[in-house]
Amino acid sequence: MSSETFQITPKEKKMMQNKIVQVWRFIVLNLKILKAVDHSKRS
Amino acid sequence: MAKVVLIGAGFAGQTAALYLGKALGKDHDITVINKYDIFGYTPSWVWVGVGQMAPEKTVFKLKPVYDKFHIRFVQGTAKSVYVDDQYVLVDKADGGEEQVPYDYLIIATGARLNFAGTPGLGPHDGYTTSICSLPHAVDARDKFFQLMERMEKGEKVKIVVGTGHPGSTCQGAAFEYITNIHKVLLKRGLRDKADLMWLSNEPALGDFGVRGVHIKRHGKLIGSDEFIRAIFDLYDIRWQVQTGVRKVEPGKIYWENYEGVEGETEFDYAMLIPQFLGPGFTYYDKDGNDVTSKLANKGGFVLVDAIYGLPWDEMAHRPEAWPAVYQNPTYKNIFAAGIAFAPPGPISRPFTNPNGLSITAAPPRTGMISGIIGRVVALNIIDLIKRGRMTHSERMTEMFAACIASMGDSLWDGSAATIVIYPVVPDHRTYPNEEGRDLFVTDMEMGLAGAWMKRMIHSTFMHKLQGRIGWQLIPE
């Protein structure tokens, strides 16, 4: 599988420490884990 | 009254013990056999190893938890299992032997660290450090501090982190260790004094023994190889993959790569993950015959309901090759959970170099995966005792895992690379994309949110595994 070259740009570095963006990413990460857990618990 | 015995109190054993204790503790005999009287939260030993967390914050006493759940605790080392007479022979910590009888046995011992598999590896008889046990992590921390003292005097040093055997696993923990070393050195103003190098048996950077991860972001396909490479570029960490470490001497690591080329890498400080082996018990039948071959493979891992011996390309496309209930096919009252079970093969593509050396990342089965298997096995034993049949199953092709590699522990300006993988083993039937994974759940990113996740998971797991209020609501 080929993939585009990925670089961490100065803009992305800023976003990584932006508290509002990171609160959103924290919520998204938890939602993703809950989706996987939901399947797991039903087995 | 049924007798259930668990050997081991790590993620798998402790999770299973809580479920069994809650459901059966008052009416049946539940016994846990463990070498130590504490539970150790393995993922945070990375922080212990760089002096960012006190060792005592990663452990708790087992006995008070077991008392609450009506579980008997035997501190000692299980030596052998008598499969027909149904008892485990234990060398007790306070002296003497004990025969612990069982109707159902769960083997959840975790990994046996095979430092002897690589001459010169490890903190005891070798020249490298390890974060695979708490004493090892404390030793790694002390040696790292000594190294920093040398750096403070102006010495430039070489630090190597990665895998110490061609068949090692747990690359995620090693990755986390090297990024934490970078952060600590940066904070101490010593980063320019260290040459940091990643040395690993992975087929590609970011493989982590799970065939890597690909995600789509802003219409672009990003692979974990690109992601990890970008982090290493950012942190100025050199890297070398497709490499099997063969031997370590003071200040020198000897290796072979995919091409069969032999080489050496110099170091002042190295943390290399050893090969993991299974429990390595001897199993006896009623006549005293050694029946170990019916219960364990050559590495000592317990044989379960997997399909063994398939060619890798076939296994990679057959989810049913992975075990569902973790039950030994010959002795059906024996189960294995966590690292102790024998997987049907590696998740990452295996490779043998022209010299005949297999350089293959073993499949990770730690942390969340171990916890999930512990739960499935416990619920099935509860089923067998109460209903006479099992109703739970979960293959690694159905499990999720999160690898959160912290880079600094601050909740204000820390960071972590978060890789969420679902399922752990690609399943091309359920997810008919090239990745064989759920592309909504599977993700990787770097940022402060990961540092929050890492801290949250430490706190919630320590809460859960002590059986505190609401423990069952916290997923494994």
Output the tens digit of pLDDT for each of chain B's 476 residues.
Answer: 999 999 999 999 999 999 999 999 999 999 999 999 999 999 999 999 999 999 999 999 999 999 999 999 999 999 999 999 999 999 999 999 999 999 999 999 999 999 999 999 999 999 999 999 999 999 999 999 999 999 999 999 999 999 999 999 999 999 999 999 999 999 999 999 999 999 999 999 999 999 999 887 777 778 999 999 999 999 999 999 999 999 999 999 999 999 999 999 999 999 999 999 999 899 999 999 999 999 999 999 999 999 999 999 999 999 999 999 999 999 999 999 999 999 999 999 999 999 999 999 999 988 889 999 999 999 999 999 999 999 999 999 999 888 888 876 678 888 888 888 999 999 999 999 888 998 888 988 889 999 999 889 999 999 999 999 999 988 88
Q: Measuring CA to CA, how many Å separate B471 from each of A37, B108, B468, B476? A: 15, 20, 6, 10
Residue B63, in any domain of the structure:
yes
Given an 8 Å threshold on Cβ–Cβ distance, is A36 in contact with B394?
A: no
User: Least CB-CB distance to A32: which of B441, B446, B450?
Assistant: B441
Judge whether A20 is closer than 8 Å to chain B, CB to CB: no
State the complex-level ipTM.
0.87
Residue B466, in any domain of the structure:
no
For B277, phi then psi, to 5°, come to: -120, 165
User: Least CB-CB distance to A39: which of B214, B398, B453?
Assistant: B398
- Could you tell me the two tokens for B79? 């030596």
Which pLDDT score, from 0 to 100, does residue B156 have? Answer: 98
Backbone dihedral region for residue B378 (phi beyond 0: left; psi -120 to 50: alpha; all else: beta): alpha
> Smallest CA–CA separation between B4 and chain A, in Å?
23
- Could you tell me the two tokens for B437? 């994974």
Residues of A within 8 A of B393 (CB-CB) are: 43
Given an 8 Å threshold on Cβ–Cβ distance, is B398 in contact with A32?
A: no
Cα-to-chain-centroid distance, residue B462: 17
Residues of A within 8 A of B475 (CB-CB) are: 33, 37, 40-41
Which pLDDT score, from 0 to 100, does residue A6 have? Answer: 74
Given an 8 Å threshold on Cβ–Cβ distance, is A22 in contact with B220?
A: no
**What are the residues whose beta carbons fall under 8 Å from the beta carbon of B326, sequence distance 6 or more?**
B304, B305, B335, B336, B337, B341, B373, B376, B377
Torsion of CA B288, B294, B297, B301, to 10 degrees: -80
Q: Are B12 and B340 in contact (CB under 8 A)?
A: yes
Which pLDDT score, from 0 to 100, does residue A42 have? Answer: 53
pTM of the full predicted structure?
A: 0.94
Residue of A nearest to B226 (CA): A6
> Smallest CA–CA separation between B247 and chain A, in Å?
34
Residue B452, in any domain of the structure:
no
Residues of B within 8 A of A22 (CB-CB) are: 447-449, 452
% helix, strand, coil for chain A, step of 5: 70, 0, 30
Residue B151, in any domain of the structure:
no
Residue B462, in any domain of the structure:
no
Given an 8 Å threshold on Cβ–Cβ distance, is A19 in contact with B222?
A: no
Strand-strand pairing, B3-7 and B104-107: parallel
Which pLDDT score, from 0 to 100, does residue A41 have? Answer: 60
Which pLDDT score, from 0 to 100, does residue A3 have? Answer: 45
Which pLDDT score, from 0 to 100, does residue A38 have? Answer: 77
- Could you tell me the two tokens for B159? 């630090």
B224, B370, B415, B422: which to substitute to probe chain A, counting the most A Cβ within 10 Å? B422
Measured between alpha carbons, how far is B402 from B43 in angstroms, rounded to an integer? 12
> Smallest CA–CA separation between B11 and chain A, in Å?
17
Question: What CATH number has the domain bearing residue B95?
Answer: 3.50.50.60
Measured between alpha carbons, how far is B379 from B368 in angstroms, rounded to an integer? 17
Given an 8 Å threshold on Cβ–Cβ distance, is A32 in contact with B443?
A: yes
Residue B109, in any domain of the structure:
yes
Residue B467, in any domain of the structure:
no
% helix, strand, coil for chain B, step of 5: 30, 25, 45
Given an 8 Å threshold on Cβ–Cβ distance, is A43 in contact with B475?
A: no
Which pLDDT score, from 0 to 100, does residue B115 have? Answer: 97
Q: Which domain holds residue B27?
A: 3-113+276-387
* Number of structural domains chain B divides into: 1
Measured between alpha carbons, how far is B42 from B59 in angstroms, rounded to an integer? 9
Measured between alpha carbons, how far is B276 from B378 in angstroms, rounded to an integer? 24
Residues of B within 8 A of A43 (CB-CB) are: 376, 392-394, 398
Residue B212, in any domain of the structure:
no
Q: Are B121 and B274 in contact (CB under 8 A)?
A: yes
